[in-house]
Amino acid sequence: MKIFFDVDYTILGLDDTLRPNTLETLEQLKQDKHEIYIWSGMGERWEVVEKHQLTPLVSGVYEKPTHHFHERLEELGVPFEPDFVIDDYPEVVSAFGGVWVPPYFFKRSFDEEMNRIYRIVNDFVHTGTSEDRQYRAKGTIVPLF
């Protein structure tokens, strides 16, 4: 699948650290033959990708639409629709389908979200859905909790 990860508060904290296990999870997803894309409402964040050594793992870096999600892909130069998105902003996740993650702010010793994301991706690959409450099917408009 073409999996799109948001930057701020999804993989990157306010303190400029990566969420724990981001690198390992992206490596595993790539090994599983997924294509990893990084996008952000703040533009093409190559500086983050390069600083945190994600460049060999990603197939593209784009600006993310923050409204009219499908309609604006072409305008922003995103050449295809994401198959699955990971984001702390629930509307994006509902628009394309994927995983909502609680915002990551600061480096801390316990954060299992990346493992959870990996499990949900695999649920989706094997069954087309996931029982995890952080999974959202494409087009859903449901409150998270």
Q: Which is nearer to Mg ion, 105 or 125 (CB)?
A: 105
Tokens of 82: 């994401």
Q: Which is nearer to Mg ion, 88 or 132 (CB)?
A: 88
Name the minimum Å distance from CB 63 to Mg ion: 13
Residues 27-86 that bind Mg ion (CB under 5 A): none
Interatomic CA distance for residues 130 and 118, integer angstroms: 12
How many residues bind to Mg ion according to rule CB under 5 A?
A: 5
Instruction: Kindly state whether residue 123 participates in binding Mg ion, applying the rule CB under 5 A.
Output: no
> Exposed, middle or buried: residue 17 (CB in 10 Å: 0-12, 13-18, 19+)?
middle
> Exposed, middle or buried: residue 139 (CB in 10 Å: 0-12, 13-18, 19+)?
exposed
Q: Tell me, residue by residue from 80 to 119, as one string, x for binding to Mg ion by CB under 5 A and - for no binding.
A: --------x-------------------------------
Interatomic CA distance for residues 31 and 82, integer angstroms: 19
Q: Which is nearer to Mg ion, 19 or 34 (CB)?
A: 19
State the residues that interact with Mg ion by CB under 5 A. 6, 8-10, 88
